[in-house]
Amino acid sequence: MYSPESEVHILGPREQLCSLLGYQFADPGLLELSLRHRSWCAENGAVASNERLEFLGDSVLGLIITDHLYRSDPGISEGVLARNRSELVSAVALAGVARTRELGAAMSLGKGEEATGGRNKTSILADGIEAVIGAVYLDGGIGAATVVVLDLLHERIQDVLYGGLASDHKSQLQELSARRFGQLPRYVLTEEGPEHEKHFSAQVELDGEPWGAGEGRTKKEAEQAAAEQAFERLQNPNKDNPDQPDTSAQPDLGSLAVSDRQEASSIPTETTPGGTHA
C-alpha cells in the first residue's frame, strides 16, 4: 500500500551541494547569489553576480588556511608556510574540491558558458567555491566558514603537512620525460579574457604528441595542471587511451637515481615564450 513515507526525495543540485558541504544556509539568498556566474547575470537583466562574494571568500579562505597552517607546526618557516598556502588555495586545488561537491551542477551559467563546458571549467569552479565560502561566512560567521573550508581541503592539507608537496608536476614530468623520451616537455599556451582577468589553457607535448591539457588563472597553474595529467598518463599509459604507446616497461619516477635526476634537470626547459612563470 502506498504511503507518503515511502517516497524517496531526490535532491536538487543546490540541495545536493549543501548536503555535500555539510552546511545549510539560514539565508538561501546568499547561496543563490554565490552561484550566479556573470554570464548568467548578463542574460537575465544584469542582476548581481557572485563576484563580490568571490572577492570576500578569497580573503576568508586565505585567513582560515593561513591560521590553520600556522598553528599546525610552530617549526615551519615563513617560506614553507607561504608555499603550502599557495598549494592549498590554487585554482587547480579549489576546482578539484568543487568537483567533489558537484558545484558545477548547481551553478547558474549563461548559454555560452553552458555550451562550452563551463560547469567543469577550472576557473569557474575555483571562483564559485570561493563565492560559496564567502556566502557561508556572511551566513554563519567565521566559525561556520572554518568548518566548511577545513572539511573541503582536509585531504589536501594532510598531504601538504605530512606527505610533502606533490604539486610540482612540471618537475616530475620533466624528469620522467627526459628519462623515457630523451627530451623535455613542450608547453603550448593560449589565453583569453581581459587583461585584468586572464584565463590560460595549456597543452603539454611529449615526443611530438599531446599528453595532457589544463587550465588556470595563471600560466603556471595551467602548465601545472597539464603536467599533472600527462604525468598520470605516463604512469598509467593505457588507462584512458588503449592506442597510446605503452611505456609501462620503463622505470617509474621513484626508481630514478639521483644522478638521473641531476642529468634531467640540467637540460634547458623547452616551452613557449613566457610559458614557465605567471
Q: Which of 11, 13, 12, 33 is nearest to 132 (CA)?
A: 33
- Give the Cα separation of 63 and 134 in Å (integer): 12
- Please give the grid coordinates belonging to residue 15: 540541495
Q: Does the structural domain 169-265 have CATH classification 3.30.160.20?
A: yes
Q: Are 64 and 136 in contact (CB under 8 A)?
A: no
Residue 180 has what pLDDT? 85
Which region among 43-47, 75-79, 122-126, 267-271 has the lowest average model confidence (pLDDT)? Answer: 267-271
Q: What is the mean pLDDT of residues 79-104?
A: 89
Residue 136 has what pLDDT? 98
Residue 51 has what pLDDT? 96
| Residue 82 exposure: Cα atoms within 13 Å on the Cβ side | 3
Q: Please check the confidence at residue 272 and state whether its pLDDT lies above 50.
A: no
What is residue 6's three-state secondary structure?
A: helix
- Per the annotation, the verdict on 130 as an active-site residue is yes
CATH H superfamily, domain 10-162: Ribonuclease III domain (1.10.1520.10)
Residue 146 has what pLDDT? 97
Domain with CATH 1.10.1520.10 in the chain: 10-162
Residue of 58, 113, 127, 215 marked active site: 58
pLDDT digits (tens, 9 = 90+) for 58-85: 999 999 999 999 999 888 889 889 988 9
Q: Give me the amino acid identity at 235.
A: Q
Q: What are phi and psi of 183, to 5 degrees?
A: -155, 165
pLDDT digits (tens, 9 = 90+) for 189-235: 999 888 777 888 999 999 889 999 988 878 888 888 888 889 888 88
- Give the Cα separation of 51 and 134 in Å (integer): 10
- Give the Cα separation of 78 and 62 in Å (integer): 15
- Give the Cα separation of 128 and 31 in Å (integer): 11
pLDDT digits (tens, 9 = 90+) for 101-133: 999 999 999 999 999 999 988 889 999 999 999
Q: Which of 269, 232, 223, 266 is nearest to 252 (CA)?
A: 232
What is the distance of C-alpha 14 from the center of its chain?
Answer: 21
b/e 256-277 (16+ beta carbons within 10 angstroms → b): beeeebeebeeeeeebeeebee
Domain with CATH 3.30.160.20 in the chain: 169-265
Q: Are 35 and 131 in contact (CB under 8 A)?
A: yes
If one compares 272 and 214, the residue with the highest pLDDT of the two is: 214
Residue of 54, 87, 127, 130 marked active site: 130
**Which contiguous run of DSSP H or E holds residue 206?**
strand 199-206
- Per the annotation, the verdict on 260 as an active-site residue is no
CA angle 102, 103, 104 (to 5 degrees): 95
